[in-house]
Each structure stands twice: as C-alpha cells, then as structure tokens.
Structure 1
Amino acid sequence: MNALHQYLFDSYRAAQHGDPAPPVPGAHDVAALRAVRDHHRFEAVLAGRRPAVDRLRTSLRRLLHLRAC
C-alpha cells in the first residue's frame, strides 16, 4: 500500500465519521525540507562554521573556475 492508497482510506473513514479530511500526501514536504535546511544552517553557525550556502557557493565557484582555466 502506498501513500495515495492510505490517503484514500483515511479520507473515506473521515467522511464516514464526519471528521475533517487528512492533508494530501506531500502537502507539507517543502516546509519540512526548509526546516531541515534552516536547522543545518543554525548548527553550522553554532559550530563556528560558515553557513552551508556560502560553502556551497564557494565550492561551486572554485569548481567552475578550475574548469574555465
């Protein structure tokens, strides 16, 4: 059984009991990924490292510069 099947079963049960329908699968995925990203950035700052965005940009810039030369 996949997530869609479970969602359909839960929606049916909710309709039978008069409860509100459950959220659609994947509705909160983007928010969860942003929260994980923010947590990693916060941990990097607490550890005294630069945020991951700067490290990623720096490594990409270095990689592209090496290929251009």
Structure 2
Amino acid sequence: MTAIEQYLIDTYRAAQHASPMPPLPGEHDMAAFRAARAHVRFRAVLDGRPARHPWTAALRRLLRRPRPGAC
C-alpha cells in the first residue's frame, strides 16, 4: 500500500468519525530531518566531539582547491 492510499483510507475514516483530518504525506519530512540532524549534533557534544554546522563539510569540499600535480 502506498502512502497516498493509506492517506485516503485515513481521510475516509476521519470523515466517518468526525475526527481531524490526518496530515498530508510528506508534510513533516523536513522537520523530521532537522530533528535527526539536531540529535546527531547533540550526540557529538555528549561524546566530546565538536558539533559542526551541517554545511561546514559541504562548503569545505566546494571551496577546496586541487593540489598541484594532482590530476
């Protein structure tokens, strides 16, 4: 069963029982990703490692210059 099919079933049930409609599939995905990222940074602090911003490594890779002599 796909997420859309499950959403349609849940919507039908909510309408039958006069309860609030369920959220759309994917509506809270970004919030879940942010919470997971925050948890990883929190665990890094607890383990004694620096909690770096998530874009730091990506910017470092983009701005890194190739070494002379490297092909």
The TM tier, using the shorter chain, reads 0.7 to 0.9
Unaligned runs of 5+ in 2: none
Report what 2:24 is aligned to. Answer: 24
Alignment of 1:19-58 (within 5 A): 19-53=19-53, 56=57
Could you tell me how far apart the structure 1 residues matched to 2:51 and 2:5 are?
Answer: 40
Could you tell me how far apart the structure 2 residues matched to 1:47 and 1:23 are?
Answer: 36
Aligned-residue identity in percent: 49
Unaligned runs of 5+ in 1: none
Could you tell me how far apart the structure 2 residues matched to 1:47 and 1:57 are?
Answer: 23
Aligned residues: 67
Alignment of 1:10-21 (within 5 A): 10-21=10-21
Report the TM-score when normalising by structure 2. 0.75
Distance 1:58 1:25, change over 3 A: closer
Which runs of at least 4 in structure 1 moved beyond 3 Å after TM superposition?
Answer: none
Report what 1:60 is aligned to. Answer: 61
Moved more, 1-10 or 43-52: 43-52
Report the TM-score when normalising by structure 1. 0.77
